[in-house]
Structures are given as structure tokens and as C-alpha cells.
Amino acid sequence: MRYLTADFVLPISSDPIEEGVVVFNDQEAIEKIGTREEFPSADLEIHKGVLLPGLINTHCHLELSHMKGLCPTGTKLIPFISTVVKQREFEQEIIQEHIDLQDQAMWDVGIQAVGDISNKADTASCKKTSPISYYTFVELFDMMQPTMTESTITSYRQVFAEQARGRGNEKSFVPHAPYSVTPALFEFINKANPENAILSIHNTETAPENELFRTGKGGFVEFYKSMGMSLDHFESPGTNSIDYVLKNLTPKSKNIFVHNTLTSPKDIVAAHTWSDQVYWASCPNANLYIENNLPDYKLFIDNKAKMTLGTDSLMSNWQLSIWEEIKTIKRYQSYVPLSVLIEWATINGAVALGYEEVMGSFVVGKRPGVVLVDCDWDGDNTDISQTQSKRLL
């Protein structure tokens, strides 16, 4: 048994407890939640700060961990993607080493589960032994080229087969982004996933994305041309990019829209009308890294959107830490209450990835992990600018 206590405990499912104690058994499941006077003082492990359940990262690309620092900041998305495409040649040993290092780094800063995008099977062996639970989103794209759809499906069936499942790991087929997936590839994804599959898609991350669907012109036409591909066959629907997704993707149990930097209130309402199990993952540090922009969180809060947080890859971030994402939102849109951001990072993420029965809050029977944040807790007025998160259990 371990009796973990700090100045405050944030169970998430109930109000903060001053000098709260969370008791864990040897299987790391919660036996009891209380306050210090209920337990022998010699048993208590006393910490300064607040205790939170393990944090949930709903959007990562662990397989890109070796690409840290290779892309300059502030280039906007299309030059960024071009760099990703060009820089994929690395020795397997280097790739593997960085995957293992970042898996450990995420664990150390308190990340309990990850929604992880995979275009290859490089992360499979790490995920099979990691203490982190991974929902692997095997991500397909055919560059909007009908001639590439069949070969894409064949190669990604193989990636899917090799990816981890079991021991808390899950997997599904997902579309990359509206501008890179044909209707036929959406059709494959709809049919290949079981009813309870959780899906995810990059959404409205850059201005040329809506431009392509509204007018059939802009940066993505040029991008594909530079890769020797034509979009002459593409008929723009004259709508926003998300409307193309909602038309072609069957809502499964849950869908996570990722980034949403330029998402409008109309887009949010359209998605909520499409399905009542829509989740929105924000990756603020990656948005600042690539586009030097952030979503307008007020639009999402006003529309009662179910928000979660992600780190994106180390290619577009300085570290893989959900607490650092919270600090960034607090720095630039400090009107979002800290208690709300902590819910996004814990229970909302756990529900989005289907892990809410074991993680996301301190509730008897769950095995949510424990994170210590070194702050002086003062509710939503807490200054977290100089704080850090670290795993205790």
C-alpha cells in the first residue's frame, strides 16, 4: 500500500481536497481517498504541491521523435509537411532509440495514455512493453489521388497488422486530413473499422485547407503539383473542409478532430449535429510552432465542445508534455479556467480514448497513475507559469 498526499489532491470527479490522501494497493489501484487524519502519519508520503491523476495525450506521433528541431518554427503547415516528406530517411536504430526515449519522457512527466498516429509500424515494439496505454491511429492518406487509393490500403493493412493491441493498447484505421484523403479511401476506413472504433482526423489547421474545398485553388494545389501530382480531377464542393469530412466519414463510437486552429462556430455546430460523440483535441504548442496561431477556445467553450489536449510530434513541439500544453493556454488565453484545462487533460482525454474506466480521475478501483505538480494551489487563480509535472506512481 502507498499513501500519497500533498497540499491538495484533485480527484477531478469531485472538489479538491486539502491535505488529501490517495491510497493505492500493490496493483496500483485506488483503495481509498481521504484526508491525513484518517491514516497513520508514519504511512504518509507527503509532497508539496497538488496531486492529479495521470494526464492523457490525445494526439501524438511518437514515430517522429527523431525529427526534433529539423523543421524551423513559423513556416506554416504546407512547407512543414514538405519537410516531413523529405526528411523521412533515417537509420532504423536512431528512430527506435528516440521512440523509446520519448515514451519514457512522456511517462516521467505523468502521461498515462496516448492517442498516437502511426504511418509506419516503428512504434509497435515500444508500445508492447510501455507502461503507457496507446490507442494507435493507423493513419491513411492517398494524397487525394484516386490512382493511389488501392496501394495505400494494401500497405496500411500491413502497418495495422503489426501495430500493438492488448495490455491497454487499441488500434483503428483513421484518415489523415480532409485535403489528403479521397472519398474512396474514406469508404475503406468506414468499412474496415468495427462499430466501437475510435477515430481521429487532422482538421482545419491551415488557411489553404478551407480554400481548397471552397474554391478548388490555393496552396494545396501548388503543393501537390510540386510533388508531381495533379488535382485536376478534384471538384471543390464549395464548403468548408470539415463538411467534406462529415459527408464522407461515418461517425463510429467517437471521433477526435485535431488542431482546429481555424475552426468556426458553424463548423463546431455541424460536427455536433453529425454526431454526439465528437471530441476536439488541441495541440497549442504545435500550433504556435508551425502556424504561430492558436484556436479561439471561447468558441469551443460556448458551444459546449468536449475538449482534450495533445502534444503532436516532437517535430512540431519542444517537448511531449501535457502540463506544458496547459501552461501555454494559460499564457495566451488565461480566461480559460485552470480547473477546466485540467479536466481537458484528464477525464475528457480518458473518455475520448475509451480509457475512462481505469484512468482520468481519482475514483476507488481505478488505476489512473499519480502526477505531482509543484504549485501553490489557489483554485483557478493558481500561478502555474513556473511549475512542472512529474510522475509519482
Nearest to Zn ion of 248, 311 (CB atom): 311
Least distance to Zn ion from the beta carbon of 311, Å? Answer: 9
Convert residues 73-92 into a mask of x (bound to Zn ion by CB under 5 A) and - (unbound).
--------------------
Nearest to Zn ion of 243, 312 (CB atom): 312
Number of chain positions touching Zn ion (CB under 5 A): 1
> What secondary structure, in 3-state letters, does 20-63 show?
EEEEECCCCCEEEEEEHHHCCHHHEEEEEEEEEECEEEEEECHH
Least distance to Zn ion from the beta carbon of 55, Å? Answer: 18
Distance CA 28, CA 4 (A): 12
Q: Which residues pair with 55 in a beta bridge?
A: 111
Least distance to Zn ion from the beta carbon of 139, Å? Answer: 9
Which element (helix H / strand E) includes 80? helix 77-86
Least distance to Zn ion from the beta carbon of 11, Å? Answer: 31
Nearest to Zn ion of 103, 312 (CB atom): 312
Least distance to Zn ion from the beta carbon of 143, Å? Answer: 17
Nearest to Zn ion of 177, 372 (CB atom): 177
- Quick one: which of 346, 350, 166 has its CA closest to 254? 350
Nearest to Zn ion of 130, 317 (CB atom): 317
Cell of 242: 470539415
316 touches 289 (CB < 8 A): yes
- Quick one: which of 295, 344, 293, 343 has its CA closest to 316? 293
Least distance to Zn ion from the beta carbon of 13, Å? Answer: 30
Nearest to Zn ion of 63, 312 (CB atom): 312
Least distance to Zn ion from the beta carbon of 313, Å? Answer: 6
Least distance to Zn ion from the beta carbon of 207, Å? Answer: 17
Nearest to Zn ion of 173, 362 (CB atom): 173
DSSP readout, 357-384?
TTSSS--TT----EEEE----BTBT---
Convert residues 158-197 into a mask of x (bound to Zn ion by CB under 5 A) and - (unbound).
----------------------------------------
Of 204-263, binders to Zn ion (CB under 5 A) are: none
Distance CA 125, CA 210 (A): 38
Residue 226: Cβ-neighbour burial (10 angstroms; 0-12, 13-18, 19+): exposed
Nearest to Zn ion of 177, 271 (CB atom): 177
Nearest to Zn ion of 211, 312 (CB atom): 312
- Return the residue nearest Zn ion (CB atom): 312
224 touches 212 (CB < 8 A): no
Nearest to Zn ion of 180, 348 (CB atom): 180
Distance CA 114, CA 58 (A): 5
Of 298-327, binders to Zn ion (CB under 5 A) are: 312
The torsion angles phi and psi of 223, rounded to 5 degrees, stand at: -60, -50
Least distance to Zn ion from the beta carbon of 134, Å? Answer: 15
Q: What is the DSSP letter of 215?
A: H
Cell of 159: 502497418
Nearest to Zn ion of 145, 317 (CB atom): 317
Least distance to Zn ion from the beta carbon of 286, Å? Answer: 7
Distance CA 189, CA 181 (A): 10
Distance CA 60, CA 57 (A): 7
Least distance to Zn ion from the beta carbon of 352, Å? Answer: 15
Where in the chain does DSSP place strands (E)?
2-9, 17-18, 20-24, 30-35, 44-53, 55-60, 111-118, 133-140, 170-175, 198-203, 254-259, 278-282, 306-309, 370-373, 389-391
Convert residues 263-302 into a mask of x (bound to Zn ion by CB under 5 A) and - (unbound).
----------------------------------------
Q: What residues line the site for Zn ion (CB under 5 A)?
A: 312
